[in-house]
């Protein structure tokens, strides 16, 4: 028989309506009979008629009550990924999706999530639900499968174990590149000490110091907003005074032909950036602002060789948005290639080349608006800095500029060389051994540690997967150069870790017998690149006065790279060791 209540009945509407009416009358009579049948009638025995059974629908949901605590039993704010048996990501009432910035048709690499203060209750569809819980890189994580029963309440308590206490050692962490405003729930749930929200846009002719610092919600969780930023270029921190762009000693020309066109398409700089940006970065740095370079994927050098050659960059953002994608897609070989100085799909290779030339550029990190469109949480990429004193913007920037930092998307990597922190200069005699102390901690087990010298792996240490590694390495370097340590772990749950969990220290600068750090090969690379950039870009500067001064600055930078390129042999080869 066809079901008149389904949408698949093809009979005439009048026929279906008559049958519905008939069935309704039949149901009403049956219910009436169930009521009157048991009533006795004198002289007659009326057998009882069983009442019509009316079955309620089986509940399709159960309740889940969760507490997240630390080892002392204290409730702990956390990020929660909760997926029902039907594959839906669940959110607490009143919390919107945190993945609203996914764009350009990309698919999130992880599930959606919500934040809890440590205790929550939520309705969940019956079946096996998956829950993943995290509270920043310094804590263990939780993964569990919960059998949700219909109409029942499942009570769960999860303990996140502290792996290490970075703050006790003076290490604070930050995501320095956000565009969506974080709230207190995010800052506490991610254990994020500092979040920076720059205002990215074009190149203006005047800037005012509107930087704002807000405890969110306390002194160890700080939000920095109203940071001036040049899209694709630099963040300007702590601008001490109003800045009016000038051309040498003169006011900036009223007609600089700084248009927004991009002759080379979307991958090219706007003409306004070509005309104004070098002058702004130079003058902002001279005024006392801290300049933090940030790059996208593929690395867009543009004016960076000019900035770096003249010392206008204080800090270099290397673990940026591209690595949200790189760390989750492709093979391990692809990931390592992104760190190669000859590679073109990441920021580390260019950074390595600048360091090889002797330029001192501490590392920083940020997630950006959408993590390159892969829908990851804020604080996915972080920089840790060892501060002198409490968390203030001044103390933070001081530690950053001195290079007491490491960048990470999961592992915590603490390294000293001869007892010194990253950013230190070590002056040694030839053949003097260096002691490298490594302490790595990670909820995602670590499998490999590299000691990198002048962009080459001086020592590779493969280890059985471990959440904590202590290792002492004694090494002798072949000449002056920069030394850093990096580590890698493999994650299998994208809600809790990138596929390639990675950390990298800022450089230590080793000067052997007083010789400077040099790389003629990399100097030639920057000379050739920047020469081609000048040839392509300077004709777009239509104001002759601006073009002459800009060309002089560019040629001065080229001369520095040319001098190093002609200075002698490249860094000596040395065998990679394990």
DSSP 165-201: -GGGGTEEEEE----SPP-HHHHHHTT-SEEEEEEEE
CB 111 within 8 A of CB 57: no
Are residue 151 and residue 183 in the same domain, yes or no?
no
Question: 227 in a domain, yes or no?
Answer: yes
Neighbours of 61 (CB within 10 A): 16
Query: What local confidence, expressed as pLDDT, does residue 27 receive?
Result: 44
Are residue 243 and residue 333 in the same domain, yes or no?
yes
Which of helix, strand or coil describes residue 423?
Answer: coil
Give the domain-ending residue among 487, 512, 537: 512
Q: Which of 479, 442, 434 is CA-nearest to residue 574?
A: 479
State which residues of the chain have pLDDT below 70.
1-59, 100-105, 296-299, 344, 369-373, 569-578
Q: How many domains does the chain have?
A: 3
Question: 541 in a domain, yes or no?
Answer: no
Question: 94 in a domain, yes or no?
Answer: yes
Question: 199 in a domain, yes or no?
Answer: yes
The CA radius of gyration of the chain, in Å to the nearest whole number, is: 31
Are residue 105 and residue 191 in the same domain, yes or no?
no
What Cα–Cα distance (Å) separates residue 438 from each residue in 65, 137, 280, 400? Answer: 41, 17, 40, 20
Whose tokens are 């610092």? That residue is 213
Q: How many residues does the chain have?
A: 578
Phi, psi (5° rounding) for residue 357? -80, 0
pTM over 0.85: yes
Are residue 17 and residue 82 in the same domain, yes or no?
no
Are residue 305 and residue 397 in the same domain, yes or no?
yes
Are residue 33 and residue 173 in the same domain, yes or no?
no
Are residue 229 and residue 306 in the same domain, yes or no?
yes
CB 281 within 8 A of CB 243: no
Structural domain harbouring 16: 1-40
Q: What is the DSSP string of 241-258?
A: S-EE-EETTEEPPS----
What Cα–Cα distance (Å) separates residue 124 from each residue in 62, 274, 413? Answer: 5, 54, 39
Q: Which of 499, 327, 411 is CA-nearest to residue 136?
A: 411
* 565 HSE (CA, 13 A, CB side): 15
What Cα–Cα distance (Å) separates residue 90 from each residue in 83, 97, 110, 238? Answer: 6, 9, 13, 41
CB 357 within 8 A of CB 519: yes
Give the domain-ending residue among 105, 126, 159: 159
The CATH code of the domain that includes 99 is 2.60.40.2190
Are residue 139 and residue 273 in the same domain, yes or no?
no
Question: 542 in a domain, yes or no?
Answer: no
Question: 299 in a domain, yes or no?
Answer: yes
What Cα–Cα distance (Å) separates residue 23 from each residue in 51, 85, 348, 401? Answer: 18, 37, 74, 81
Query: What local confidence, expressed as pLDDT, does residue 99 receive?
Result: 77
Are residue 222 and residue 336 in the same domain, yes or no?
yes
CB 175 within 8 A of CB 365: yes
Q: Which of 480, 458, 452 is CA-nearest to residue 570?
A: 480
What letter would DSSP give residue 577? B
Are residue 149 and residue 172 in the same domain, yes or no?
no
Query: What local confidence, expressed as pLDDT, does residue 59 receive?
Result: 58
Are residue 151 and residue 170 in the same domain, yes or no?
no
CB 191 within 8 A of CB 172: no
- CA-to-CA distance for 34 and 26, rounded, in angstroms? 12
| Strand partners for 486 | 450, 504
Query: What local confidence, expressed as pLDDT, does residue 104 receive?
Result: 60
Which distant-in-sequence residues (6+ apart) come within 8 Å of 353 by Cβ?
A: 341, 455, 519, 522, 525, 526
H or E element that contains 145: strand 142-148
Question: 257 in a domain, yes or no?
Answer: yes
Which of helix, strand or coil describes residue 527?
Answer: helix
CB 95 within 8 A of CB 115: yes
Token pair listed for 260? 């927004």
Q: What is the DSSP string of 1-58?
A: ---TTSTT--S-HHHHHHHHHHHHHHHHHHHHHHHHTTS-BTTB--PPPPPPP-PPPP
- CA-to-CA distance for 136 and 444, rounded, in angstroms? 12
Question: 368 in a domain, yes or no?
Answer: yes
Query: What local confidence, expressed as pLDDT, does residue 268 receive?
Result: 82
Helix and strand numbers (H, E) in the chain are: 10, 28
| Strand partners for 437 | 416, 472
Omega before 12 within 30 of 0, i.e. cis: no
Pairing of strands 61-69, 142-148: unpaired
Give the domain-ending residue among 485, 512, 539: 512
Are residue 13 and residue 115 in the same domain, yes or no?
no
């Amino acid at each position: 028989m066809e079901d008149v209540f389904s949408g698949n009945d093809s009979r005439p509407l009048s026929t279906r309506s008559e049958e519905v009416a008939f069935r309704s009358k039949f149901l009403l009579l049956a219910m009436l009979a169930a009521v009157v049948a048991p009533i006795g009638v004198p002289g007659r025995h009326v057998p009882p008629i069983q009442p019509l059974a009316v079955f309620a629908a089986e509940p399709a949901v159960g309740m889940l009550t969760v507490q997240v605590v630390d080892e002392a039993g204290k409730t702990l704010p956390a990020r929660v990924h909760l997926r029902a048996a039907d594959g839906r990501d669940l959110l607490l009432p009143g919390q919107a999706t945190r993945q609203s910035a996914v764009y350009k048709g990309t698919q999130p690499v992880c599930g959606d999530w919500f934040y809890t203060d440590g205790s929550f209750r939520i309705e969940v569809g019956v079946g096996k639900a998956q829950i993943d819980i995290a509270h920043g890189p310094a804590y263990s994580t939780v993964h569990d499968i919960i059998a949700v029963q219909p109409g029942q309440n499942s009570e769960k308590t999860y303990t996140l174990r502290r792996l290490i206490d970075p703050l006790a050692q003076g290490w604070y962490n930050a995501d320095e590149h956000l565009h969506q405003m974080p709230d207190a729930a995010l800052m506490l749930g991610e254990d994020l000490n500092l979040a920076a929200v720059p205002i990215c846009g074009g190149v203006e002719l005047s800037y005012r110091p509107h930087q704002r610092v807000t405890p969110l919600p306390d002194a160890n969780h700080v939000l920095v907003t109203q940071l001036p930023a040049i899209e694709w270029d630099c963040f300007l921190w702590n601008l001490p005074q109003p800045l009016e762009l000038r051309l040498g000693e003169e006011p900036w020309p009223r007609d600089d032909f700084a248009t927004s066109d991009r002759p080379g398409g979307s991958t090219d700089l706007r003409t306004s950036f070509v005309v104004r940006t070098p002058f702004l970065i130079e003058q902002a740095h001279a005024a006392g602002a801290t300049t933090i370079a940030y790059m996208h994927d593929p690395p867009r050098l543009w004016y960076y060789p000019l900035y770096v050659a003249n010392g206008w960059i204080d800090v270099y953002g290397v673990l940026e948005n591209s690595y949200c994608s790189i760390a989750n897609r492709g093979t391990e070989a692809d990931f390592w290639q992104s760190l190669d100085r000859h590679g073109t799909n990441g920021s580390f290779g260019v950074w390595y080349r600048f360091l090889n030339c002797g330029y001192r550029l501490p590392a920083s990190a940020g997630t950006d608006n959408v993590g390159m469109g892969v829908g990851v949480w804020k604080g996915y990429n972080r920089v840790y800095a060892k501060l002198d004193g409490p968390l203030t913007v001044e103390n933070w920037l001081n530690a950053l500029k001195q290079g007491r930092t490491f960048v990470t998307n999961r592992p915590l990597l603490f390294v000293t060389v001869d007892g010194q922190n990253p950013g230190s200069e070590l002056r040694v005699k030839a053949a003097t051994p260096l002691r490298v102390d490594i302490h790595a901690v990670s909820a995602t087990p670590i499998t490999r540690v590299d000691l990198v010298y002048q962009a080459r792996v001086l020592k590779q240490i493969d280890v059985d997967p471990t959440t904590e590694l202590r290792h002492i390495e004694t090494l002798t370097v072949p000449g002056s150069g920069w030394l850093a340590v990096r580590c890698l772990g493999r994650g299998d749950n994208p809600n809790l870790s990138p596929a390639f969990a990675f950390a990298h220290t800022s450089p230590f600068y080793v000067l052997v017998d007083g010789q400077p750090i040099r790389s003629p090969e990399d100097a030639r690379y920057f000379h050739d690149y920047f020469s081609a950039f000048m040839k392509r870009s300077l004709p777009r500067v239509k104001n002759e006065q601006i073009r002459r001064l800009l060309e002089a600055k560019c040629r001065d930078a080229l001369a520095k790279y040319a001098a190093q390129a002609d200075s002698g042999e490249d860094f000596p080869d040395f065998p990679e060791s394990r």
